[in-house]
Structure 1
Amino acid sequence: MFFRPSFPKNALDIESNYITALSLEKKAGRHIVNRMAIVPVPENTIVPNFSEKNIQNPEMLLNLLEQAVENADLKRRKKWSIALPNETIRTALITIENPPKSKNEFYEILDWKSERAFGVPAEELRLAHEKISIEQPDKAKYLVTAIKLSVLQEYENLFEHLRWHAGLILPRLLCEMKWLLTNTIGDSLLISLHSDGFSSAIIQSSVPSIIRNVNCAWQEVEDEIYRFLMFYREKFNPQQEDLFGILIVGDSTKAIDINKITTDVFGYMPKVLSPEDVNLYVPMININSDTLVASAGLASLAWK
């Protein structure tokens, strides 16, 4: 299972250009950031990639991790939940038809389908899965994440050096998605921008129904977001009252004219969700909240 109780109230988000360390408290139903620090990461310290080496300068990254937790006044914390780049950990929805007759058969099928989804032999991957409720009795859908063991070892070597226990390591997409899984008002759309394009998800009835990873050049991102939203419109034909909102996060969200794209697709502007809309409150001023959504989503699992 991905989302279990007893996780720490502090979390880290490690990206190619920044590290966020924070902790949360919860009051009156809102998750409030009470400690935080954002540390810039020099270019080429981390080069996120699913199949190749990620950490190009381990000593630099180690120093930056120590700096982030010290600046956030979280140096004494040893238990951490960690978000890694979407390019490093991949996410897919996998459907298994006809219930397997045994646990061994289930894992054989899951491994086979994961190999097809991620393009890497299952024995080279750390796979995690969670069953998603589904109406058809002869089908089961699973949310699956995969990271290459060799890549995971790069990060775990640093955590061991710091004497940290990283109890949960997830892709940024799932950490951001957490904020939309409790919404029961209507459909929610997540667009998570990264250096190689974006990852996206459609959440319906509090579960993800579609996940897509789009690799493209930056100048193609708006066109690809348009195609993603057109796919959603054509597949589900949502009415205006069916769409709760769109959460778009990432370093370059201000460069994306999401209002124009959504107007072209839907004929109106759906609500672009802010952290406050999903019960995340950031009292600090002059902070780019996009850099907090993933780590705060992880830390909020302490109250699940």
Structure 2
Amino acid sequence: MIPPVVRVSRLAVSSSGAKAGERAIPEETPVAIVHNGSTYAVMMATPSDLEDFGYGFSLTEGVIGALSDVEAIETLEFEEGVEIRLWLNQERAGQQVARRRQIAGPTGCGLCGVESLELAVKPAKQVAEGRVFTAAEISRAIASLPPAQVLNHETRAVHAAAFWEPATGLVAVREDVGRHNALDKLVGHLVREGRDAAGGIVLLTSRVSIEMVQKTAMLGASVLVAVSAPTALAVRTAEKAGITLAAIARDDGFEVFTHPHRIEIGGAEKERIAHVG
């Protein structure tokens, strides 16, 4: 298969002069998601964890509702890129014909080719109540992510999505040049593992846009924590979906934007975000 990381020649220029050498950079290749022989989408992605990507993308797009809707999956490599071929059962294959997209999107594009404004801002799935986490657990979760970002350590150019549980710690990490792709890969992995997402936290290294909230809701996770800020639409969507959205997570704290009742806060932390309702 195509390697996810490539080493290229480069010339490093600084005030002391120029020096030849190499740098590891992430690969980026067209990945086509194909359902029953028909291309649904083509995304620019990092060629790793591709079966997870195929399952996760199909689930978060609503093409499938469960793993059982997929009868077979195969990944084929061509000179032009990669095809992930999923063969759906008869019921799902018929439903798919009703709505089909042809997407040739840039890196991590989540909405290119959507046929209407209504589809772009469709309500997210309602999540279950899930569990309560302490502020210390949120901090431990986000602190555990950087050491596990293997591709990013090597390239400094990819996003990560991860899942964390109090008893287990970091359960899984998926990386990609596209932030949406990284989350889809994580969703695919967790669903294939049969993991109950309501018992843990989804972690993101990227900003939180509406699609990231929608995908988290499809997974069934009730808590989403990101290192960057959310968009206003993402906050409104998380509020309606019942998701606890925390962002701008750093070593010294984080900010809660929706449903703070799932985070147990005390002392100065409680006073700091008491205004969030």
TM-score, length of structure 2 as denominator length: 0.29
TM-score, length of structure 1 as denominator length: 0.27
Higher relative contact order (CA 8 A, sep 6+): 1
